[in-house]
Amino acid sequence: MAQRGAKNRTVGAAVLALTAPLALAACGGGDSDGAGGSDGEVTSLTVQDTFVTEPGASYYGELLDACGQENGVTIERNSVPGGDIIARTLQQASSQTLPDILSIDNPDVGQLAAAGALAPLGELGVSAEGISQGVVDANTFEDELYGLQPTTQSLALFYNEDLLAEAGIQPPTTWEELETAAAALTQGDRYGIAFSAPPTYEGTWQFLPFMWSNGGDETDIATPETAEALQLWVDLVSSGSTSESVLNWGQEDVNDQFIAGNAAMMINGPWQFPVLAENPDVTYQVAPLPAPEAGGTVVAPLGGATWTVPETGDDARKAKAAAVVECVNSDENMVDNALTNSSVPTKAELGEQVVAEDPRMQAFVDVVPDLRSRTAKLQDEWPTAATAIYTAVQTALTGGASPEEALEQAQNG
Amino acid sequence: MADTRQRAGGATSAARPAGPEVEVEDRRPRRTWSRERLLQLGFLVPAVVYMLLFFGYPVVQNALMGFQEYTTRTFVTGEAPWVGLENYREVIGSSVFSKAALNTVLFTVGSIAGQFVLGLAIALFFRKRFPLGGLLRSLLLLPWLIPLIAASAVWRWILDKDTGVLNQVLGGLGITDSNPGWLTSTSLALVTVIAINIWIGIPFNTTILYGGLQDIPEDLYEAAALDGATRWRAFRYVTWPLLRPVVTVVLVLGVVYTLKALDIILGLTEGGPANSTQTIATQSYNLSFQQFDFGQGAAAGNILIVVSLVFAVLYLRANRRALDE
Is the same domain home to A386 and A254?
yes
Which residue does chain A place closest to B290, by CA atoms? A383
Is the same domain home to A168 and A87?
no
Is the same domain home to A105 and A243?
no
Is the same domain home to A281 and A331?
no
Residue among A1, A92, A249, A405 with most chain B CBs within 10 A, to mutate: A1
Domain boundary among A342, A362, A392: A342
More confident residue, A31 or B281: B281
Q: What is the 3-state secondary structure (H, E, C) of A113-182?
A: HHHCCECCCHHHCCCCCCCCHHHHHHCEECCEECEECCEEECCEEEEEHHHHHHHCCCCCCEHHHHHHHH
CA dist A120 → A125, A310, A325 (Å): 9, 9, 13
Domain count, chain A: 2
In chain B, what residues touch A399 (CB-CB under 8 Å)? 186
Task: Give domain limits for chain B.
Answer: 96-274
Residue A191 lies in a domain: yes
Low-confidence winner among A49-63, A155-169, B224-238 (lowest mean pLDDT): B224-238
Low-confidence winner among A3-7, A153-157, A300-304 (lowest mean pLDDT): A3-7
pLDDT in tens, A235-258: 999 999 999 999 999 999 999 999
Domain that holds residue A78: 44-148+305-342
For position A402, which CATH number holds?
A: 3.40.190.10
What's residue B32's pLDDT? 61
- Across the interface, whether the CB atoms of A262 and B71 are under 8 A apart is answered no
Given a cut of 80, whether residue B252 has pLDDT beyond it is yes
pLDDT in tens, B127-165: 888 888 888 888 888 888 888 889 999 999 999 988 889
In chain B, what residues touch A380 (CB-CB under 8 Å)? 72
Is the same domain home to A250 and A394?
yes
Q: What is the pTM of this model?
A: 0.84
What's residue A84's pLDDT? 87
Is the same domain home to A139 and A173?
no
Is the same domain home to A73 and A138?
yes
CA dist B146 → B151, B200, B250, B258 (Å): 6, 9, 21, 17
| Number of neighbours of residue A401 by Cβ within 10 angstroms | 16
* Predicted complex ipTM: 0.83
Residue type, A98: L
In chain B, what residues touch A412 (CB-CB under 8 Å)? 95
- Is residue A285 very low, low, confident or very high in pLDDT (cuts 50, 70, 90)? very high
- Is residue B177 very low, low, confident or very high in pLDDT (cuts 50, 70, 90)? confident
Is the same domain home to A392 and A259?
yes
Is the same domain home to A60 and A186?
no
Residue A130 lies in a domain: yes
Residue A70 lies in a domain: yes
Residue A137 lies in a domain: yes
- A-B contacts (CB, under 8 Å): 167
Is the same domain home to A162 and A139?
no
Which residue does chain B place closest to A18, by CA atoms? B58
Given a cut of 80, whether residue B213 has pLDDT beyond it is yes
pLDDT in tens, B310-323: 888 887 887 777 66
Residue A261 lies in a domain: yes
Is the same domain home to A279 and A199?
yes
**Which residues on neighbouring strands pair with residue A76, listed in sequence order?**
A46
Cα-Cα-Cα-Cα torsion A366, A368, A373, A374, nearest 10 degrees, comes to 40
Is the same domain home to A181 and A325?
no
Residue A80 lies in a domain: yes
**CATH code for the part of the protein at B96-274:** 1.10.3720.10
- Is residue A369 very low, low, confident or very high in pLDDT (cuts 50, 70, 90)? confident
